[in-house]
Chains A and B, each alone.
Chain A
Amino acid sequence: MTTSSAPSLSTDAAQALRPHAEQTYATELEALAKADDRRRPPGWRLSPWAVTQYLLGATLDDGTEITPKYIGARRVVEVAVATLATDRALLLIGVPGTAKTWLSEHLTAAVSGDSTLLVQGTAGTSEDAVRYGWNYARLLAEGPSREALVPSPVMTAMARGSIGRIEELTRMPSDVQDGLITVLSEKALPVPELGIEVQAQRGFNIIATANDRDRGVNDLSSALRRRFNTVVLPVPDSAEDEVRIVTQRVEQLGRSLELPEVPAGLDEIRRVVTVFRELRSGVTEDNGTKVKSPTGTLSTAEAISVLTSGIALAAHFGDGVLRPADVAAGIQGAVVQDRVSDGVVWREYLETVVRGREGWGEFYRACREVGA
């Protein structure tokens, strides 16, 4: 949560472990804003067209290269941007690791230039987090006043006319969720204690994410659901797309964690992606052999983390080159979530698929070693 207090805690963005999207891609956003001559909706930093360019990547006329942020179906991004442009709230749904949060952060950064107005939905999220809270010391000392009011990120977003993000909307208790209905339909948040209301400025909107697998935890009421346009994020269509996503992210993560430079072999990335895809879909890429699927989701995000940890291993303990042995442990950890049943799945996969595959011998031996 961002509040105005506690300046001693704020730190230099350059030192941040994970800079926000608008910090990382400040130059791209600036170049886009300069080149963008289309109409911008009120309160937007960029035109919808420029937002899609920012997300999908392009080369601007002045030669600035915009890296693609979301690799996948163009229509997903277009529907998302068009939704925000019609001041409808946007709900991103997908299995874990399909870049919901990633997309929401970048959308917000591009549209409002500020992706920090974030509420994380948990079972313990209280109404304060979507409406407003009080600074109780002040409240007791001075009585209800504007100074004693602690606005939630949603309230701040309304006042500023920017986009507020809500992560894992379905994990919030239902009554807290329903607090959003007024915000989304009336675009105003009354504060009865002070007899005022905060009216959303133009440009305000909400992007929420929710998890497919968690459906049924706290299902959205139909009243709330109706106020969102829903975009379902698919798992990457083709292996090629997934390799691109993983390569790009692994490279970026390596940079921000200042890991020693390790050439992330495309072979190793392709191998990890292949293993994940095959286990996820339950059939080998050549569509020749059926394999069992483990209980975990095996998302692209997990593939990325397997590779980053592999790179860390290679850099600190290995010879500086990403070897099969460096990813073997990580990949097994990702696949085998349930020791008993997933263990069988993994061993079976190793023996029936990996063993006979051309050029996978070293990987097979490494996995066997880890498993032993």
Chain B
Amino acid sequence: MARLDTSGLHVLGVRHHGPGSARAVRAALADIKPDAVLIEGPPEADALIPLVGELEPPVALLVHLADPPRGDAAASAAGWAFWPFAAFSPEWEALRYAAEHGVPVRFCDLPAAHTLAERMARAGGTGEPDGAEPADGPEADTEEGATEDPESVGRDRLRLDPLGVLAEAAGYDDAERWWDDVVEQRGEGEPSPFPAIADAMAAVREESGPEDERGARREAYMRQVLRATLKQGHERVAVVCGAWHAPALRGVADFPAAADTALLKGLPKAKVSATWVPWTHGRLASDSGYGAGVTAPGWYHHLYTAPDLPVHRWLTDAARLLREEGHHVSSSHVIEGVRLAESLAVLRGRPLAGLDEVSEALTAVLCEGEPARAALVHRTMAVGERMGSVPPTTPMVPLQRDVIAAQKRLRIKAEPFDRDLDLDLRKEGHRERSVLLHRLRMLDVAWGDPRDTPAGKGTFRESWRVRWEPELDVALIEASRWGTTVAGAASARAAERAAEADLPGLTALTEQCLLADLADALPGVLTLLTDRAATDGDVTHLMGALPPLARSARYGDVRGTDAAHLRAVAEQILRRVCVGLPPAVHGLDDDAAARFVTHIDHTHSAATLLGGEALAEWEAALAALARRETLPGRISGRLNRMLSDAGHIDAEELRRRLGLAMSQGTEPAAAAAWLEGFLQGSGLVLVHDDRMLGLIDSWLLGLPEERFSAVLPLLRRTFGAFDASERREIGEAAGRLGGTRAAVRTRVPVDVERAAPALATALAILTDGRKRAS
């Protein structure tokens, strides 16, 4: 076979997301004037290249399984990969050059179809934890060695950190800084660094030994594409790839094509689709877990967009930011900051002040030594949060389009930072926003996070914190299997969830359906709910299901849903509870009784919400229950208290029952439990009813000593729950008992002057302000 002619081949080994590389690539391309460009990236995205002109970086290529896996969380986390591009990425520069000059361009990395298929197989086998490698991108090959493979940890340092070795040879302790100095901070018009980079990498690769399997395959594929391109008759071909691969591609003629073909044989393959999605600087930052990330995307963006006086401009921007925050920063601060940064750079022997120097100048001069303030500004600027955008013609699943349309219609923007939304559900637009956010939550697209409603609780207010993350696009694509519109998909999802849910899950789902206004899904969910309620023998499940339902019945007022059906279901469940209650409380031990009391409390408030006939039935059931002798003390005490609070037992009867429970014949522990249930929440009843207090008092006095010490912890728990003033009042009331000291309760004399405004206000409220006006 004739030796491949590589005289027209130019391999540009870059550092992903390096502004200096990008600038060098631009200069090199202008010089080479290639008639074909190859870029390290998934070939599935070749069809998407024409969109480049309309994209606004940062954007990412998203390649995902065409048919998202169902159910398995680990598998679905592995079923996609991103290739991010920022404005300062050399690959992006190459794409733009190709688009502007009409040069044919291709992605030449190993197809994601293989990568994802392999990863799926691995995730399926080992059940890798969710999010282990959230963004894979143009792999971390040059920068971090091989963060993509856990098994690579044991490999020698050279391979892990080839740049580190080079940097060390150049006398740097930090590889990033070395690369920055040598390549990234290059000005315009310096000679092309690429041959030297490739030579250096070749030297490093010689020492590091053969590539691992995956790396070898990727390079084999790149060479195959390269060969094909050269054979098509292109004369000047530019390849933009990670520096690490440069030697392997430059010497394509030295590698036998047959070996590469053999290496690529029989790879697993998955069906995938690709699209562009907006990306954020925050996601580019290496501390977000992105392997090939850069420490300071904001700084790189700045270096790339402000070619002259980067330090001056950066510190001026920092000063403006500080001024916005209300700190006094003068121009002379900036002047001195620039001087310090520059002399630090000279001191350290760097060609230009870098991020380190600038940040130190920021701390020492602009922030006058306050590290916290400096860190805040520095972080904001170093990340320089921004979000890219994609044109509407980008391939999208219908669900994405529907969400974008809804965002436009409701005027809420997808932004990459936290924003608080306060919604007033009485307004049409606000209500629709709330519905959209709830529906997306139903689809596991966590754009908004519902927050506790601030003061002024009302069912018509809702607070959200929204933040759009690029992953949400993936979530949308995954959710697209449920339907093509948000409403349809959410309904389908709700129905599917309902099929799997247990009773409490179903009621929670009912609530969510109401919040998300899923009228289509609701009847089905409610039917299932009544079915489950009928067959579920556990009354606590029913009781747990009731409160959300009762709450939901009230939402009808604000959200305009038909509450009647819901109410019917809730009342039906409440009836089941009433029936199931007596047997359920039989023979409970103390802990179980305490838990049951909580259930009763919740059900009681739910019944109060429902009101009407249902409430009456519930109270009747409680009254019947309270008369039972065998009831655990804790429950019995609580029931009597609830009934008396509701006015169904008069004081006399209550005293009788208390006396019964507190009589000498009862087991003291049971009596103490009764008391605990009775006094739960508040002991004021004792302050106002001396006779009741007397009963308890004489019971206590009548206890033999060892019995007394046995019930003491229980009593302590009961009374310890009251606040100090309540305890004091009970104590005072107990002091008055028996008339031994006919002490009149000491009254604090009222300070008339201080009380007057309060009185006036109370009066104004009571009289609707009329008195005041007159």
Interface on A for B, CB 8 Å cutoff? 48-49, 52, 75, 78-79, 81-83, 85-86, 88, 91, 93, 222, 225-226, 228-232
Contact = CB atoms under 8 A, between A and B. Distances in A.
Contacts of B330: 226
B439 interface: no
A88 B356 contact: no
Contacts of B365: 88, 229-230
Interface string B128-147: 00000000000000000000
A79 B340 contact: yes
A225 B340 contact: no
A91 B330 CA distance: 19
Interface stretch (B342-350, B380-388, B464-472): B342-350
Contacts of A81: 347
B364 interface: yes
Given A79-B340, A88-B339, A222-B328, 4 more contacts: A78-B344, A88-B340, A93-B369, A226-B332
Interface of B: 328, 330, 332-333, 336, 339-340, 343-344, 346-349, 356, 360, 363-365, 368-369, 371
Nearest to B343: A82
24 contacts: A48-B347, A52-B347, A75-B360, A78-B347, A78-B348, A78-B360, A79-B344, A79-B364, A81-B347, A82-B343, A82-B346, A82-B347, A83-B340, A83-B364, A85-B347, A86-B343, A88-B336, A226-B332, A226-B368, A228-B368, A230-B365, A230-B369, A231-B369, A232-B371
3 residue pairs, one from A and one from B, having the closest CB atoms: A230-B369, A82-B344, A82-B343
A79 B365 CA distance: 10
Contact of A86 (B328, B333, B339, B368): B339
Nearest to A77: B347
Contacts of B347: 48-49, 52, 78, 81-82, 85
Contacts of B371: 232
A86 B360 contact: no
A93 B370 CA distance: 10
A232 B349 CA distance: 24
Contacts of A52: 347
Contacts of B368: 225-226, 228, 230
Contact of B336 (A48, A75, A229): A229
Contacts of A79: 340, 344, 360, 364
B333 A226 contact: yes
Contacts of B360: 75, 78-79
Contact of A75 (B332, B343, B349, B356): B356
A231 B364 contact: yes
Contacts of A93: 369
Nearest to A81: B347
Most buried by A among B344, B347, B356: B347
A93 B364 CA distance: 11
A57 B332 CA distance: 34
Contacts of B340: 79, 82-83, 86, 88, 229
Contacts of A222: 328
A232 B368 CA distance: 9
A352 to B, nearest CB: 29
A86 B364 contact: no
A81 B345 CA distance: 12
Contacts of B336: 86, 88, 229
A268 B395 CA distance: 70
A232 B360 CA distance: 11
Contacts of A232: 363, 369, 371
A230 B371 CA distance: 10
Contacts of A226: 330, 332-333, 368
Nearest to B356: A75
Nearest to A93: B369
Most buried by B among A83, A91, A222: A83
A137 B330 CA distance: 47
A88 B369 CA distance: 14
A91 B336 CA distance: 14
A83 B343 CA distance: 8
Nearest to B344: A82
B735 to A, nearest CB: 37
A220 to B, nearest CB: 9
A78 B350 CA distance: 13
Contacts of B333: 226
A230 B369 CA distance: 5
Contacts of A88: 336, 339-340, 365
Nearest to A230: B369
Most buried by A among B328, B346, B356: B346
A145 to B, nearest CB: 38
A79 B356 CA distance: 11
B174 to A, nearest CB: 11
Contacts of A75: 356, 360
B369 A91 contact: yes
B242 to A, nearest CB: 31
A203 to B, nearest CB: 15
A88 B328 CA distance: 19
A323 B328 CA distance: 55
A93 B349 CA distance: 27
B243 to A, nearest CB: 28
Nearest to A87: B339
A93 B371 CA distance: 12
Contacts of A228: 368
Nearest to B368: A230
A232 B328 CA distance: 20
B339 to A, nearest CB: 4
B343 A48 contact: yes
Contacts of B332: 226
A83 B339 CA distance: 9
Contacts of A225: 368
Contacts of B343: 48, 82, 85-86
Nearest to A83: B340
Nearest to B329: A226
Nearest to A229: B364
